[in-house]
Chain A
Amino acid sequence: MAVDAGTTAVTSLAAACDDVREATDADAVDAVQPGFVVRPGSTEETTGVLRVAAERGLAVVARGAGTKLTWGTPPERVGLMLDLTRMAAVLDHAAGDLVAVAQAGCPIAHLQRTLAASGQRLAIDETLPGSTLGGGIATNSSGPRRMLNGTFRDLMIGTTVVRADGVIAKSGGRVVKNVAGYDLGKLMTGSFGTLGVVTDAVFRLHPLPAASGVLSADIRDSGILAAMVRAIVHSDVVPTAVEVDWSAAGGRIAVLLEGTEAGVAGRTAAARELLARAGPAEVDVDVLEQLPRWWGRYPDGVLLKLSCALSGVERVLREAAALGVAVRGSAGVGVLYGGIPVDADVTGAVTALRATCTASGGSLVVLDAPAAVKSTVDVWGPVSALELMRAVKRQFDPHRLLAPGRFVGGI
């Protein structure tokens, strides 16, 4: 579309949305400075803004609370920062249907508070304080409870997306069981804002458990740690989460059980027994009053996401420790997070650990690191079906306006 030479970008943007300002240093993404920050108040305003961006060839990066903005490779350029924090409402909570609809800028914690009033929750952990639904969806971030309940891709049942050309598209719906049409929500989940802007989403909810139990044990030997994980995973205690915290100095396991009063009491006792006797010698297992401090927190340093088959967990833990990489995460599903000290040999550690993860049917992604570090390592690693991914990107965003360069293979 031809752009009227007389109007500036800022006037066009202001016509689409009344909350526009020039960007400051604080708005930079990995040192890439946007021109403007726009805060649309609705899906319709988002459409207007993206139309202007498309007309003017402005690259767009969407932002929620900004807790994961430095994840992925740095964007090549950012014309416009699309700040979604004005779209922060819980639009509907149909408690009887165990379904909620919320805007993308809604903080996960806010949604949880709203749902808790009716004894329900979205069974997704807030992995970084303040993070929003939109950011969680875009990065497919998940915490310990994924073991029992799954991730965004499992719990999001409907989405509204604004395309790069401003067109609004919905998929899924408000019912959990629904196979009408393609599931665009799955495509958006984990796409790092490169295919469209999710403005609201519908979620399947779970009842808040009546009771919970937490067990923890300190261990020195990775073999025993792995045996404990196996003992719980292949048992009948139905854990909500099995987490580990591991480094060269040793570490710990923690198990969360949730359910009814009587059920949790019995299962906690059974799980304690399984943990205590998993290794050659009996181990002390503590029953905790609350979740341990390290629970669900990413380790410090260059942040890695490591995935592997369950049978590969032990090897990943051992090799990470040998490389000086601290590891935390969901050993019960094979998704772990590593932290490499920034001054260590990042490339060496990434290469070695990536080989281990890949050999075990998984992958390694450098989630977060200073831009200088990211420029020296292969952030995403090998990706299969990359040509199909590129084809999808070309369809949704042929002019590469949405977070260009932030995703796999330069997408």
Chain B
Amino acid sequence: MTSTHGTTKTAGPEVGPTPPEQTAATGQNGDGPQIQAVRRRVRDLLPAEVVVTDHARLRTYECDGLANYRVTPALVVLADSVDQVATVIRICAEERVPFVARGSGTGLSGGALPRADGVLIVMSRMRAIREVAPEDQRAVVEPGVVNLDVTKAAAPHGYYYAPDPSSQQICSIGGNLAENSGGAHCLKYGFTANHVTGAEFVAPDGSVVQLGGRAPDAPGYDLLGTVIGSEGTLGIATAVTVRLTRKPEDVVTVLAGFESTDDAGAATSAIIGAGVVPAAIEMMDALAIEAAEAAVHCSYPDGAGAVLVVELDGPTDEVRQEFDEVERHCREHGAFAFRVAMDDVERALIWRGRKSAFAAVGRISPDYIVQDGVIPRTALPKVLRAIAELSSSSGVRVANVFHAGDGNLHPLVLFDDSRAGQGEAAEEVSGKILDLCIEAGGSITGEHGVGVDKSAYMPRMFTDDDLDTMQMVRCAFDPDNIANPGKIFPTPRLCGEVPGRHRGEHPLAKSGVAEIF
């Protein structure tokens, strides 16, 4: 598949045909005096094998999972340790050269898109699981550790790491932290922000600080909570303390076939309205089912206009009772097929269709955009109808796959880039879908982040004052705007000279009033 827009490629970057986009977000001059100085100083201080300057190798890092944006970085550092990260960032700070962190490069909003005038700091070599401490329900891992490996390391102790993005076999914990990633099961268990309790963090001046810790509620501002989801724009995490969750006693997965997404949506609302909080409720519409069938033969019910995958987990008695509720509500809302997975093999079969959906769409369309909008769950039927109207009036096909439980839509907007005008039409439909989400009181992104892809949409969701206030945080961490600049915010805030900055000690501290420690 050669998608130039949103793509499911997770096998890392590949050299593509598109020349680097020279925009404000990506930097202009790859060989100015500042980057030359950085290159020289980094080579002096770091072992040769971690510094990449060869152009062909540099190009292998030109994009993340959103392959229509490509920029060759001026320099790549394959960091091995916190010291190396701190050294590179300090040099960048002194030379005022931008840096961008990269984990596994699976991000779908261009968050790890390099800067032509900057350094890409690749974290994937820092992949030690430093400690698994089931007695504390914690693990301490390096940021390059792959999400699923945390669960594998915790499994022998009866624990797992709850956030489970579909990319969990490849995406990194550092990338998860930066994107506040979720997964199908975040309906019940929450997102990365709810499962990270501490981080070792290199600020954009090169200083290393500890945010949060092993225990909850560290005193002071919740900088950890602020950094989570900040898409690498506040600094780089070099170690992460995560919370481990007890494996549930029982898991039941059901697949229900409906005639329409309206029926499936109504069943979803009824289930949640009844006070059941399933671990996951996922929905696919007819086009997405068609694609999945073609790709993985998942044998979803014939003729279904929509399917729901509902997973219940927890203590056995609880799960049984909730299962009865789920079945009743599905049938009352017109489910004509209801299938239950009783073991892991059957469960994997049900999930296979859902998990392959993005890639499968490649079978029915040469190119597609993966959209990621959120709406209040009760708005589902209305917004789905509006998307259908948008699709029929524009002639652009849209397949719907989504986390129905929390209203996180992943419409897949299909097109053929070799046909003139189709790419633009798809972009337009994709943008209008976001407008529908915002009008319904939702969000432009539920899990993929803003990155470079959606920064232009931020003003549709937030006022200038809102964005300006967010950027005050940015100015506190990164007054020179060198940490992943050009991402999230459509226009950078000038941090200006802030009273007190770089002026040494706080007067109270000097007089000994405030800093008794």
Q: Is B366 an interface residue (CB 8 A)?
A: no
Cβ A184 vs Cβ B215 within 8 A: no
Residue from A150, A189, A308 within 8 A of B222 (CB atoms): A189
Residue from A97, A186, A261 within 8 A of B376 (CB atoms): A97
A98 to B405, CA, bound (A): 11
Q: Which residue of A lies closest to B182 (CB)?
A: A177
Q: Which residue of B lies closest to A173 (CB)?
A: B443
Q: Which residues of B contact A390 (CB under 8 A)?
A: 500, 506
Cβ A178 vs Cβ B476 within 8 A: no
Residue from B277, B449, B506 within 8 A of A179 (CB atoms): B449
User: A182-B226, A187-B473, A309-B215 in contact; A238/B277 too (CB < 8 A)?
Assistant: no
User: A180-B461, A410-B513, A410-B515 in contact; A187/B135 too (CB < 8 A)?
Assistant: no
Residue from B249, B446, B472, B515 within 8 A of A396 (CB atoms): B472
Q: Is B295 an interface residue (CB 8 A)?
A: no
A145 to B500, CA, bound (A): 41
A190 to B225, CA, bound (A): 11
Q: Is A183 an interface residue (CB 8 A)?
A: yes
Q: Would you give the 0/1 interface string for B481-511, flagging 1 where the beta carbon is closer than 8 Å to chain A?
A: 0000000100000000011110000101100
Cβ B376 vs Cβ A305 within 8 A: no
Residue from B194, B203, B462 within 8 A of A170 (CB atoms): B462
Q: Which residue of B lies closest to A398 (CB)?
A: B499
Cβ B225 vs Cβ A334 within 8 A: no
A299 to B136, CA, bound (A): 25
Cβ A186 vs Cβ B442 within 8 A: no
Q: Which residue of A lies closest to B375 (CB)?
A: A175
Instruction: Determine the interface band of chain A, counting residues with CB < 8 A from chain B.
Output: 35 or more
A389 to B476, CA, bound (A): 8
Q: Which residues of B contact A385 (CB under 8 A)?
A: 201, 209-211, 220, 223
Cβ A392 vs Cβ B221 within 8 A: yes
Minimum Cβ distance to chain A for residue B398 (Å): 20
Q: Would you give the 0/1 interface string for B191-224, flagging 1 where the beta carbon is closer than 8 Å to chain A?
A: 1011000000101000101110111111111110
Greatest chain A CB density within 10 A among B220, B374, B506 is at B220
Cβ A409 vs Cβ B509 within 8 A: yes
A361 to B214, CA, bound (A): 5
Q: Is A153 an interface residue (CB 8 A)?
A: yes
Residue from A175, A266, A308, A357 within 8 A of B317 (CB atoms): A266
Residues from 361 to 382 in A contacting B, C-beta threshold 8 Å: 361-363, 365, 378, 380-382
Cβ B193 vs Cβ A186 within 8 A: yes
Stretch at the interface among B24-32, B50-58, B74-82, B268-276: B268-276
A171 to B225, CA, bound (A): 14
A409 to B517, CA, bound (A): 9
Q: Would you give the 0/1 interface string for B382-422, flagging 1 where the beta carbon is closer than 8 Å to chain A?
A: 00000000000000000000010011100000000000000
User: A168-B465, A260-B321 in contact; A154/B470 too (CB < 8 A)?
Assistant: no
Q: Which residues of A contact B376 (CB under 8 A)?
A: 94, 96-97, 99, 174-175
Q: Is A65 an interface residue (CB 8 A)?
A: no
A202 to B401, CA, bound (A): 27
Cβ B450 vs Cβ A309 within 8 A: no
Interface Cβ pair total, 8 Å cutoff: 307
Cβ B193 vs Cβ A183 within 8 A: yes
User: A94-B378, A361-B215 in contact; A179/B225 too (CB < 8 A)?
Assistant: no
Cβ B514 vs Cβ A179 within 8 A: no
Residues from 301 to 336 in B contacting A, C-beta threshold 8 Å: 314-318, 320-322
Q: Which residues of A contact B186 (CB under 8 A)?
A: 177
Q: Which residues of B contact A73 (CB under 8 A)?
A: 514
Q: Is A127 an interface residue (CB 8 A)?
A: no
Instruction: Determine the interface band of chain B, counting residues with CB < 8 A from chain A.
Output: 35 or more
Cβ A384 vs Cβ B133 within 8 A: no
Cβ B182 vs Cβ A187 within 8 A: no
Q: Is A207 an interface residue (CB 8 A)?
A: yes
Q: Is A234 an interface residue (CB 8 A)?
A: yes
Residues from 79 to 123 in B contacting A, C-beta threshold 8 Å: none
Q: Is B230 an interface residue (CB 8 A)?
A: yes
Q: Which residue of A lies closest to B214 (CB)?
A: A361
Cβ A175 vs Cβ B470 within 8 A: no
Q: Is A208 an interface residue (CB 8 A)?
A: yes
Cβ B443 vs Cβ A175 within 8 A: yes
Q: Which residue of A lies closest to B493 (CB)?
A: A395
Residue from A267, A333, A391, A408 within 8 A of B476 (CB atoms): A391
Q: Which residues of B contact A184 (CB under 8 A)?
A: 226, 469-470, 473
Cβ A177 vs Cβ B136 within 8 A: no
User: A97-B376, A238-B315, A389-B221 in contact; A384/B158 too (CB < 8 A)?
Assistant: no
A334 to B215, CA, bound (A): 7
Minimum Cβ distance to chain B for residue A354 (Å): 10
Cβ A408 vs Cβ B219 within 8 A: yes
Cβ A179 vs Cβ B447 within 8 A: yes
Q: Which residues of B contact A181 (CB under 8 A)?
A: 450, 458, 461-462, 466-467, 470, 488
Q: Which residues of A contact B314 (CB under 8 A)?
A: 238, 259, 263
Q: Which residues of B contact A378 (CB under 8 A)?
A: 516-517
Cβ A260 vs Cβ B322 within 8 A: yes
Minimum Cβ distance to chain A for residue B274 (Å): 8
Q: Is A169 an interface residue (CB 8 A)?
A: yes
A311 to B223, CA, bound (A): 25
Residues from 393 to 411 in A contacting B, C-beta threshold 8 Å: 394-396, 398-399, 405, 407-410
Cβ B450 vs Cβ A180 within 8 A: yes
A95 to B378, CA, bound (A): 9
A310 to B215, CA, bound (A): 8
Cβ A263 vs Cβ B318 within 8 A: yes
Greatest chain A CB density within 10 A among B275, B449, B458, B499 is at B275
Q: Is A307 an interface residue (CB 8 A)?
A: yes
Q: Would you give the 0/1 interface string for A306-343, flagging 1 where the beta carbon is closer than 8 Å to chain B?
A: 01111110000000000000000000011100000000
Cβ A410 vs Cβ B210 within 8 A: no
Cβ A405 vs Cβ B138 within 8 A: no
Cβ A175 vs Cβ B374 within 8 A: yes
Minimum Cβ distance to chain A for residue B184 (Å): 11
Q: Which residues of A contact B468 (CB under 8 A)?
A: 167, 169
A91 to B248, CA, bound (A): 37
Cβ A394 vs Cβ B501 within 8 A: yes
Cβ B446 vs Cβ A177 within 8 A: yes
Cβ B469 vs Cβ A163 within 8 A: yes
A403 to B438, CA, bound (A): 36
Q: Is B179 an interface residue (CB 8 A)?
A: yes
Greatest chain A CB density within 10 A among B272, B315, B498 is at B315
A399 to B498, CA, bound (A): 10
Residues of A within 8 A of B (CB): 73, 94-99, 119, 140, 142, 150-151, 153-154, 161, 163, 167-171, 173-184, 186-187, 189-191, 195, 206-208, 210, 230, 233-238, 259-263, 265-267, 305, 307-312, 333-335, 357, 360-363, 365, 378, 380-392, 394-396, 398-399, 405, 407-410
11 contacts between A and B (CB under 8 A): A167-B469, A171-B469, A174-B441, A237-B315, A260-B321, A262-B320, A309-B215, A361-B136, A381-B517, A382-B517, A394-B498
Shortest Cβ-Cβ A-B pairs, 4 listed: A410-B514, A186-B225, A361-B214, A362-B215
Q: A182-B230, A187-B226, A265-B317 are in contact. List 4 more A-B contacts (CB 8 A).
A: A119-B275, A169-B465, A177-B406, A382-B517
